[in-house]
């Protein structure tokens, strides 16, 4: 089940993907870096931020499956009005044994 808020988030991510003209359906092994800039100074668990953007990127067609990530890096940034996620996705070249 995806809430209406979740559906709006997925649509917003898909729009950003189209606007950025991103290469779609990346099929290799990937690394991702997320800079999470919260909307305020309240305490938040960084690990709770991951699922929605990874699923939204997959739904938008950027990835085949979020299982493709061998490296995930998430950093807490400074608060910004409305909050913001900065996302960079890299292809891992030369293989990665997951170690």
CATH (domain of 8): 3.30.1330.70
Structure tokens of 96? 């990665």
Residue 87 lies in a domain: yes
Backbone angles phi, psi at 17, to 5 degrees: -60, -45
Residue 79 lies in a domain: yes
pTM over 0.85, yes/no: no
Residue 98 lies in a domain: no
Residue 32 lies in a domain: yes
> Which pLDDT score, from 0 to 100, does residue 82 have?
94
Per-residue pLDDT of the chain (99 residues; tens, 9 = 90+): 889 998 998 899 888 888 887 766 778 899 999 999 999 999 999 999 888 999 998 888 888 888 999 999 999 999 999 999 999 988 888 655 554
Tell whether the torsion through CA atoms of 18, 22, 28 and 30 is positive or negative.
negative
Residue 96 lies in a domain: no
What is the total count of domains within the chain? Answer: 1
CA distance 19 to 17: 6
Classify strands 69-76 and 30-37 as parallel, antiparallel or unpaired: parallel
Backbone angles phi, psi at 35, to 5 degrees: -105, 115
Residue 54 lies in a domain: yes
Give the number of other CB atoms < 10 A from CB of residue 56: 22
Residue 97 lies in a domain: no
């Amino acid at each position: 089940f995806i809430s209406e808020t979740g559906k709006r988030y997925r649509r917003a991510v898909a729009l950003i993907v189209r606007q950025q003209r991103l290469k779609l359906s990346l099929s290799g092994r990937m690394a991702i870096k997320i800079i999470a800039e919260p909307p305020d100074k309240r305490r938040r668990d960084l690990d709770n931020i991951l699922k929605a953007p990874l699923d939204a990127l997959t739904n938008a067609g950027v990835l085949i499956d979020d299982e493709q990530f061998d490296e995930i890096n998430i950093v807490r940034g400074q608060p910004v009005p409305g909050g913001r996620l900065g996302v960079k996705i890299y292809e891992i070249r030369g293989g990665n044994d997951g170690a």
